[in-house]
Amino acid sequence: GENVEQHPSTLSVQEGDSAVIKCTYSDSASNYFPWYKQELGKRPQLIIDIRSNVGEKKDQRIAVTLNKTAKHFSLHITETQPEDSAVYFCAARTSYGKLTFGQGTILTVHP
Amino acid sequence: DAMVIQNPRYQVTQFGKPVTLSCSQTLNHNVMYWYQQKSSQAPKLLFHYYDKDFNNEADTPDNFQSRRPNTSFCFLDIRSPGLGDAAMYLCATSRGTQNSNQPQHFGDGTRLSIL
């Protein structure tokens, strides 16, 4: 089955800096890669996703890049703000919408 | 305007006492999922329904069962909860076909405590 590795497990940045979280996946058949933000005690919320026919996607301060050959994808957050502090999960999808999640990254943005 | 609704938000049950968690959706999505999420861990898929077809993950304990009486509702039954089953249970939905990639929408979850 699919295996997703996510790094780093914790990330601490100063407000205004950029944050980068990286994930690798094992199943070359995976074709959809969402990123979820989860605040304490709340639901995971989709913040951006990318499909395997696209190399990069951007939405305001958030961008995701995908390298299919190397089987890795990354989340980039620019101009970080304290409200960006949360746990971020990457995921990879194979058949029937089944998602395999990475282990999560605790992002802390210091004012 | 919640689209995936889970009830209750918090559930306390006794060791070994059956418990049912519910999920409903207003999105008319054909795929529904149940995840277990323990503290500081990623959500772990327990099973999912693709339309009426039930798909159980290989490592989901027999203690966990699910029912989907119609498109809108899905239930998670834990027959004999143990202390290790204390967790957040997340329901999610998506619009799925074999070749499409649609996002999953999560409910707020039910936090289950075992006494």
* pLDDT of the residue at A107: 98
* CA A98 and chain centroid, separation: 17
At A82, the pLDDT band (50, 70, 90 cuts) reads very high
Residue A1 reports pLDDT greater than 90: no
Residues A63-76: what's their mean pLDDT? 96
Are B27 and B93 in contact, with CB atoms under 8 Å apart? yes
A7, A75, B22 from B91: Cα distances, Å? 26, 25, 9
* pLDDT of the residue at A54: 84
Nearest alpha-carbon partner for B33 in B60, B13, B2: B60
* pLDDT of the residue at A41: 86
Residue A57 touches chain B, beta carbons under 8 Å: no
* pLDDT of the residue at B88: 96
Whether A44 and B90 lie within 8 Å, measured CB to CB: yes
Tell me the shortest Cα–Cα distance from B75 to chain A, in angstroms.
18
Residue A96 touches chain B, beta carbons under 8 Å: yes
At B85, the pLDDT band (50, 70, 90 cuts) reads very high
* pLDDT of the residue at B105: 92
Residue A81 belongs to what H/E stretch?
Answer: none
Residue A102 touches chain B, beta carbons under 8 Å: yes
d(CA B106, CA B33): 9
Tell me the shortest Cα–Cα distance from A67 to chain B, in angstroms.
18
% of chain A beyond a pLDDT of 70: 97
> What are the counts of helices (DSSP H) followed by strands (DSSP E) for chain B?
0, 11
Are B10 and B115 in contact, with CB atoms under 8 Å apart? no
% of chain A beyond a pLDDT of 90: 82
Q: Which residues of B touch A41 (CB under 8 A)?
A: 111
At A96, the pLDDT band (50, 70, 90 cuts) reads low
Whether A43 and B107 lie within 8 Å, measured CB to CB: yes
At B92, the pLDDT band (50, 70, 90 cuts) reads very high
